[in-house]
Amino acid sequence: MKKGYLILLLFNLSVSVLFAGNSTDRLDKNIEITKLTDHAYLIQSSYACNMVLDCNHLLIVDSKDMVLVNTPAKDSLTAILLNCIAEKFKRNVTKVIVSHFHDDSSGGLLETGKRGIISYSLDKTRDLLTSEDRTINHVFTDSMTISLQNTSLQLFYFGAGHSVDNIVTWIPSEHILFGGCLLKSKDSKDKGNIKDADLRAWPVTVRKVENRFKDASIVIPGHLAIGDSSLFEHTLDIVKIE
C-alpha cells in the first residue's frame, strides 16, 4: 500500500509541476480531473478502485459534444465518472474512443452503451471485444477523423505494440497526443503488462508515432504521469529489442 501511495504522490506532483496554475478537482475518491487547455481535460481514475489514480483518460469539450478517450476499468466506476462529468459541465458525454481492448480502456463500455454514448475504435479492437459482450459503434482500419463543432480528433493506427490494436488520438488544435498504453510514463521503468504485446513491433510503432507527432506539446500515456514529446524516446529506451 505504501508503494501505491508513493506512486500516486509522484504522479500528482508531476502533473502539478507540468500544469501549474491549472485547476484540479477531485470528483470522487477514485477520480480526478485536471484542466489542460480550454477544450481538454486530463482524467485520472483508479484501476483497482483503491484511491490510487493510475489510469489516464482524456476529455475533449466542445460546444455540443464531449468526447471521452478510454473508460475506467469497471462499469461501476465509469457510471460514477459520467455522472461527475455531467454535474461539472451540466451536460453529458456524447462519444467515447477506445484506444485498445484491455479493461483500462474498454472496461466501461456496457455503461456507455446503456447511456447511448457512441463508441469508436480500431476494427481489431471491436473484434477482440466480441467475446466480452462489449460493442463498438464505429470502427476504422488505418485512420479516422471525428469532426466536432470547433475542433477535431484524429485517430491513427501505426501498428502493434503494448497490444495488437493500440491506437493514438491526436487533437491538432490543442497539440495533445493521447498515446495510451503504447507509450510509457517517465515514472515507468519497465514494459509492464506484456501478455498481449508484440515486443518486436513495439519500438517500430513508437518510432512511427514519434516521427508523426514530434511537435506534440502534451503527450498522455496510459498510466501515471503525463509529459511531452520526450516520452517517445523514454518509451523507446524501455521497449527496445535487446
Domain positions in the chain? 2-239
Whether 28 shows a pLDDT value over 70: the answer reads yes
Q: Among this protein's residues, is 162 annotated catalytic?
A: yes
Mean pLDDT of 142-160: 98
Taking 3-state DSSP, the helix, strand and coil percentages for the chain, each rounded to the nearest 5, stand at: 30, 25, 45
pLDDT band at 242, cuts 50/70/90?
Answer: low
The residue with greater pLDDT, 17 or 222, is 222
Q: How far apart (Å, rounded) are the C-alpha atoms in residues 58 and 43?
A: 6
Examine the residue annotation and report whether 102 is marked as an active-site residue of this protein: yes
Q: Which of 74, 102, 124, 234 is catalytic?
A: 102
Strand partners, 102: none
Checking if the pLDDT of 6 tops 60, the result is no
Indicate which residue of 70, 75, 124, 181 is catalytic.
181
Residue 24: pLDDT band (50, 70, 90) is confident
Tell me the per-residue pLDDT of 47-79, one tens digit each, with 9 for 90 and over: 999 999 999 999 999 999 999 999 999 999 999
List phi, psi (to 5°) of 82: -65, -35
CA 20 to chain centre: 21
Please say if 39 is a catalytic residue: no
- pLDDT category at 17 given cuts 50, 70, 90 is very low
Span between the terminal Cα atoms of the chain, in Å:
33
Residue 234 appears among annotated catalytic residues = no
**Which among 74, 100, 124, 234 is annotated as catalytic?**
100
Q: Is the pLDDT of residue 1 over 50?
A: no
pLDDT above 70: residue 8: no
Which residues in the chain belong to E strands, given as ranges? 24-28, 31-35, 40-45, 55-61, 66-69, 95-97, 118-122, 138-140, 143-147, 152-156, 168-171, 176-180, 218-221
- Measured at the CA of 29, the angle between CA 52 and CA 104, to 5 degrees, comes to 50
Which residue did the predictor score with more confidence, 159 or 15?
159
- pTM of the predicted structure, to 2 decimals: 0.91
- In this prediction, residue 5 carries a pLDDT of 42
Q: Is 223 in the active site?
A: yes
Express each pLDDT in 207-217 by its tens digit: 999 999 999 99
Residue of 92, 193, 237, 240 with catalytic role: 193
- Of 104, 124, 165, 166, which is the active-site residue? 104
35 versus 23: the higher-pLDDT residue is: 35
Radius of gyration of the chain (CA): 16
Q: Considering 74, 95, 223, 234, which one is annotated as catalytic?
A: 223
CATH of 2-239, one of 3.60.21.10, 3.30.420.40, 3.60.15.10, 3.40.640.10: 3.60.15.10
